[in-house]
Structure 1
Amino acid sequence: MRLHRLDITAFGPFGAPQTVDFDELSAAGLFLLHGPTGAGKTSVLDSVCYALYGAVPGARQTGQGLGLRSDHAAPGTRTEIRLDLTVAGRRLEITRQPPWERPKKRGTGTTTEKAQSWLREYDASAGSWKDLSRSHQEIGEEITQLLGMSREQFCQVVLLPQGDFARFLRADAEARGKLLGRLFDTHRFAEVEKRLAERRRTTEAEVRAGDAELLADAHRMQQEAGSGVEVALPELKPGEPGLAESVLAWAAVARSTARERLTIAHCARTAAASAHAAADRELDDVREVDRLQRRFTAARERATRLEERADAHQEAQARMQRARKAEAVAPALDLRDLAGTEHRRAAAEEARARAGLPQTFADAGAPGLATAARKAAEELGGLESARRAERRLAELTTERASLDRQERADEDVLQEAEAWLAAWEDTRAGIESDIETAQEAATRAEQLAVQREPALRRLDAARQRDQFARDTDAAHERALAARERATEARAHWLDLKEQRLKGIAAELAAGLVDGEPCAVCGGTEHPAPARKVDGHVDRETEERALAGFQSADEERAEAERRLGVVREALAAATAEAGDTPTARLTQETEELEQRHAEARSAASGLHAAREAREQAEREHRRRTDAQQEAARRVASRASLREALDREKTGLEGELTQARGDAGSVSARAAQLERQVALLTEAADAVRAAEDTAQRLKEADARLADAAFRAGFDTPRAAAAALLDDAAHRELQRRLDAWQSEEAAVRAVLAEADTAHAAQRPPADLAAAERAAESAARRLREAASAQDAAARRCAGLDALSGRADRGVRRLAPLREEYDRVARMAGLAAGTSADNERKMRLESYVLAARLEQVAAAATARLHRMSSGRYTLVHSADRAGRGRSGLGLHVVDAWTGRERDTATLSGGETFFASLALALGLADVVTDEAGGVRLDTLFIDEGFGSLDDQTLDEVLDVLDSLRERDRSVGIVSHVADLRRRVHAQLEVVKGRTGSVVRQRGAVD
């Protein structure tokens, strides 16, 4: 990949369009990107990354790309990045426009434009550009496929970020693993570890579930077998080896014991059944003898009772004969009782009917009462027309009262409508005033809302400016202190070094041996070797001073770096907020917020005021219509009232004549109706009483004649001998029972078996029943024991078969679990077979790290004059896992040590070598895509002149592979050494770029 041209518009600190010609810069192979802190050097690299991937490096991303726009750009200028590059032999042009908020074309406020992208390719044969795509997704996939790297890999390999590789050198194995995992995409190996672990947990859970089910079956078998099994169930847990064999062996013992117990129970049941049958036969014989003896005794007792009731039986027979004679008189008695009852009822009804008549009709007969009833009925018929007139008069009265109520209601409506309409103009004027006030407040709120957002942003920036100013002062003080400490430490180290050089002869003399040549002059005789004086400085003291100086120098560099970051942030906040004091901005913003809130509160009543106006207009129309309708009803009601009064006067004269002395026609009609009903009822009652008296006389004559013919002296005697149905049935039952009882007693006493049994000794039924019950109980117990033994055998057979099937089903699953567990343990580094405890992903990353260390060593040799070599270490670090260790071999001491022990300058060129080596390995991993343009961000200030020359020589050697390297640095010495430069200059209106080629 080679960059040719970059066009930046309204991006980051660049308000005006800027152009970077990378072809001119790359001609020298090495170019410098420099400028003051906060000018926008990093924004140049961000724009390259955004053009390729549609996003800036991870640490500087903002939501939806809205934060990429330059605050210095004109409102109508669209943010745009255009990059011309060659990748995989193709000349491409990528244009990116992030989303931005532009002013609305109509009205006030802003609207958000969507992001846009273009991809074009140069057609050399046609000499023109052709469009390829305008889809964000298609462009992203195409660039990723051509480069062979994700955005994270590109930012790590091409933009070589400041400090990342220095931290990589000092990091532990876990941190290195995360970085290498992102670059080399080894998550698939971690996914394999995860899948194996999940499969191991799944199969283990299945095996444990199967073992738990097997143990549950074993416990059920133990419960089924009871306490008859002498061998105890083995105490094992799910997942333990040998569980299946132990359970099956115990089940076989339990089944054998259960079958033996079933055989014993069967023999016991057979013996109990025989004894039970003999006891039942003996009980039947005793029961029969006892029954016959009790039968004979009962018959003798019944015969004795019959003899005692013989007199009562004869009296009952005589009573039955008299009752049968009296049955001939019964119809006459019933007829006489019915006639008497009817006569008494008719006489009472006559007396009741005469009691309600006037005194003039007290002695009148039935014909006279009927004649008076007909006269009253004729008079009642003549009152029907008067009744209709009375009902009509009541209706007229009701109608007249309704008209009065309607008139009063209409008068109320008219008065209320006139009062409301009189105040209508004032009400409408007040509502219109409220609407105008609310509209003015809404307009004022919109205007203040436009001013509010910029004021809030400026206030936030001012607060950040004040905080950054305080942070800058503190950082400046810390940087001065660190610089003083570093200067003092360097002077101390140089003083000790000079003292050691003065006494170096004593150190050399300490190693002289008589007869061996001197390392300085070569002589074998040493007549006067130098002696160490008081205060001699040895090598260890000098090295401690050097280490103290290096540590102080690193603290100084870190303090200056932090000071630069804080100053850059202060400049950005100052550019946003200006020089206005924060207190003043706070006061202005609070006033603006208060005015905006007041305007919004006043404008919130606009909708309510408009609704009030519509409601008032509807009420005005309703009141007007109600007033007109009430006036029409009042006019039409006068003529109707006069007609009702005329009709009422005529009906009142007619009714006065018809009702007589009664209060009303209805009262007079009610009197006549009651009189007709009483007279008619009395006439009927008199006729009924006369008829019942005649029938009673005839019934008495017939009764006397019937009693004489039946043999009774008087009708009363015949009535006394007569029995009702219940008494007759009871007497007949007693006679029949006597005869049946007598016949049954004679039959029992005549039986031969009964008489023979009565002569035998009394039977002992209780003893026979106890013997039979004891035999039955023993049989039930034997049968229950046999059934329990049979059920136990069947249950054990079923559970044993289920356990056997479970063992056969679990066998392949247990084998799979053993195999998966071994593989998961090896992949996770927890298995005993994995001696180095190295995970699968760590193993792959270790191989990549070994390649990176080999590639980095080739450059580190040149930068360190052959002193340092980077090597990969597979040793374990403490309790951690092995595979991602990184050590440096110092050729001066011959010792291997951790990269975290390197000094500041050594760490820089070691990390630079590591970054370049990593770029080569990632490039090869991506399919051999050439990376012809690289950027290195800062860190050169920690190098001395000689090391800086060696590092620049290594970077300059990259031209042999047709590469160009851009150095992002503040070091002033680099401006003299590197001629091709891209300078970023910041100003109050935004930053600009100035470019100078190698020949300028």
Structure 2
Amino acid sequence: MKILRISGRNLASLAGEFCVDFESEPLASSGLFAICGPTGAGKSTLLDALCLALYGNTPRLQQRSSRGALPDAGGESVSTTDARNLLRRGSAEGYAEVDFVGNDGVHYRARWSVRRSRNKVSGLLQASNMTLHRLPELVALGGTKTEAQAEIAARIGLSFEQFTRSVLLAQNEFSAFLKTDENERGELLETLTGSAVYSEISKRAYERYKQEQDAVRRLTSRLADHAPLAQEARAELDAERAAVEVALQAVDVRRALLEAQLRWHQESERLRQNEAQAESLLAEARLHAEAAQDRRLRLATLDEVQAARPLMAELARLDAERAQVEALLANGQGELERAAQGVHQALQEVQGATLALETAEAAQLAAAAQLDAAKALDATIATLAGAHAQLAARRDESAAELARTRALLGEAETRLAQTREAETRSAAWLADHRRHEALAAQWPRWDKLFAQAAQAAASEETSIASLARAERARVNAAATAQAAQEAFDAATGRIAELEAARQAASAALAGFDPDALNEERQRLDARREQLGAAVRLAKGLHTARDHLARIDAELERTRSARSTADTALAAALAAEPALTGAASQAEQALSAAELACAGDVATLRAALVEGDPCPVCGSAAHPYAHQDARLHAVFELLRTQVAERRAEVQRNLSEQATRRAQLASSGERLATLAQERTALAADLAELDAAWRANPVSGEAPPAGERQPWFEAQMSAVREALEAIDARQQAARRAMQARETAQASFEAATAEQTRLREAAHKAQAALGTLESEHKTIGAQLERERAALAAVLADLDPVLLDASGEGWQALWRRNPVQWQAARAAEAKAWTTQSTQLFEQRAALAALEAAQREAAVRAEHAAGAAAAALDACARSEAELGERRAARAALFAGRAVGEVEQELRRAVTSSRETLAARQAAAGEAAQRETRVRSALTQAQERIGTLQDDARDAAARLADWLEDYAAHHADLAPVESQAQLAGLLAVGEAARAQERAALAELDAALSKADTVLAERKAQRALHEASASPDGAMQDGAAVADALQAVLEERSAVHERATSLRLQAAQDDERRVRAQSMLAEIERQQAIEARWGRLSELIGSADGKKFRNYAQQFTLDVLLGYANSHLNQLARRYRLERVDNAGAPSLALMVRDQDMGGEIRSVNSLSGGESFLVSLALALGLASLSSNRVRVESLFIDEGFGSLDSDTLGIAMDALDALQAMGRKVGVISHVQEMTERIAAKIQVRPTGGGSSAVSVGT
């Protein structure tokens, strides 16, 4: 980390902007530089700016008591430790800025800034702000102040405290690293060396030990919750459970019998209801079928009248077309009349447009003279308006000047009166508050004494509270020591009792042979496995043989079905050519008949004239000129035959497809069954081989007798295993008892050791607290004496200002009382200054008032002259505008001329449009007359066609009445039209509905017969003895048995659950003991590690590791100390019981005597601290390489020779590439350093910063 530039504005005595650039000459090439200047000039403020920009705090503000407060603007106060106190008094804003190289090698700019509200000196202090930017692109890092502080600390790699120990050694803080406590020294060394891993290891070891302790406690607690039943209680539980199980089986037998009887009654009632329901459905279906006769007659009629649909459609088409033509004819008459009227109206509009054009041209010629006169007046008015505008502007300016001068006169008179009044008030206030004059004259001195008194009073209160706390701690420590000794004595007595219990448990465990029990259990487990495998193999063999028999039967059925399908397919293929040929012949005959009966052929035959040649064949003889009804009958017969042949062909194709599908399905199924049989045969062979290989197969009886034999063998093995389990459980209980006794003995021994150490520690703590109590009492006496001395210095001036009781008032609230006196002093000073300023301002205000009166008088004359000239110009302009308004009502000449031209153009365009419209009207009249003639001719043709169509329809109705007397009569065209209105979809729907009624009737009849048969079969299955024939009685008896079973089953379930839970507790307790033992071993291992290096804050292992870092640092420091002060040598205090980072000094002139670092004089402490600082600079790791060092004061305590040695050490440090800056008043030292930063006072409490040589 390296500092590149320090800049700021308005910080303490450094008013305005200042900047120190270490990358510019002469500082860029100088590794050592001095910061020079008189006392109080602001040298330390430069280092304050460095700390403010990086951390928002400074070392000398941290040294102050946090209880003090300073008055600020608006009656507010600011804490003495607030960094905003560095804002210069009388400034509205300020900042501190530092450019530096971070530990990542990147350049950054950190900035701290503060301002007052509204950027006014009298405004309240606002919260400070901090920012960080990456250079040179000025990319912001961190959005808020807190985020920016964290980013800066991360880039530097040091906290504020570590920064002030290794980079900046401030006033009164030079020896801080030498005399700091061990923990803070360890943290700094850890940061400088980048070895935070040791702290993390220490924390993790401590946390892991706590986790393992918690795990042991959890397991022990779980074990206490899973204790099994005693052996006697378990035996009673098993006996009761067996009795309840037998009772439950008996109840289940009675329940099954009653349930079977109840089901028979329920089924009988269900079948009776089904039969009655079927009878009802059959009667309903018959009623529906009978009611549908009228619908069947209507459907047959609808099918028959479909032949008349083309005749009705043709008649309707002709009627519609005739109505359409008649409507067009009627509309054409009206259109003709309208066309004639349009021609007449168009001619009249042409005449009107001609007259309008003549009128517009005459008006344009008459307006020419007046247009010329209007143009002349417009030119004159434009000239006069410009001159009038200038005069009006001059008039307004004169009036504004008059108002301004009169306002200035009023303001001057007001300020003069206000200043005279303020001067009188200030003089009166000073006379009334004369007692504050002495307090205000030397307020800085009294303010400093007040701060000292407040600090002394706060220290006194702190000491009083500390003394009370020390007394309470001493009493508590005495009680703790006594309780610890009593607990130790009780633990000693407990150990003897636990030793006796441990020996008794060991003797009980010796009565068991665990190895023999395990061998017997393994033998029984092997026998049980063999029996289980044999049972499974026997079942598998039986199942496989049954499955093989079923597959063989299905194979036979599938082969038979395939043979049948093959025969049927061959027959269908053989019949297919004959059926196809018959269908083809029928279709050819039908095609010939259709050609003979085609509509075009019939039309040509009807048009033939006897004797005239035929237009098709040319023959003059026409034997078939008229159609024969027999030809149509033949045609219908052929069409029916074609439909029958086509149906036969389709049925043959369907039969072929069905048989082919059957053949394919049979083939696939045969292949599948063959694969299954092969696989099953292989499985059967494997099962048979496995059965013969099982040792039990030689003992087992034949297949029909194996099941009882297997059950007997398994029962014997289970009984033997239960006996082994009982003995092993007893052995485990004895083992558990022995281990529990052993653990209790070890825990009691460890507790005795812990209590012995606790008693010793309590006694030591009591001695320490008694010594601390005496020290605090002596310190309280010293602080009281210091407070009395300060109050004695304040007493003379405050007796006059505040009276005899001022000390009592001050003690009630020192800060508030001091602020009140500060306000009084400030008020006196303010009023004195104001009185002097007010008297000086009176003369200037009187002269300004006289000058303002003269200016106002001159402005009044100029305004009157301008007003008169503007009025004359306005009158003349008004006359000209009135004359112009009489012409064309004041309208613009161009507008009038354009309007006249538009009127002429519009009239010409209108005339042309009217002439074109007259021509179009004449053409429309001609087209309408032609259309009317064509419509009249078409109506005659349609009337003839309609008469022919009506005659053909009448013939069809007569034919229907003669041949279809069994159907509904059709007597008129309207009735026929109503029937034809029913569409094909409706007829198909009705036909399907009638078919459904027939199917429902057939189905209902079938269902009734089936249900009668079912009921008869069920009645035949009734019990022959007739017991329990009443269904209600059976249901009541079953309900009673179910209630009895519920009670028995609930008891059985409860007993099963108790037994299962006890079994589970027995197994779990055994496993948990082993788990607890394993966890205790893990806990002990981590406990030893935590005792060695573990701590909650990580300091134990960190301090241990940093001992080696400190030894290296002391090696560097002693090499520098050998030049600075050969007499002394720094060493680390070696503590064999715990890691130590404490320092001591060996005095080599006194035979190597050991001295405390606190016993060194001021000059000696400075030299030793300087050696440590130089050693820290040499020790910097790669992660935090410190390349800048700033030292504030301390060299004044050195003699001339020692100062020279210190300078040589600083020169050696800069030769290593580091930049070192020192603040000192020693002239000899500043003369030896070429590069200097000069801080010179400029007057008024401000200073300027410059860089030179």
TM bin (shorter chain): 0.3 to 0.5
TM-score of the two chains, using structure 1 as the length reference: 0.39
Higher share in helix: 2
TM-score of the two chains, using structure 2 as the length reference: 0.32
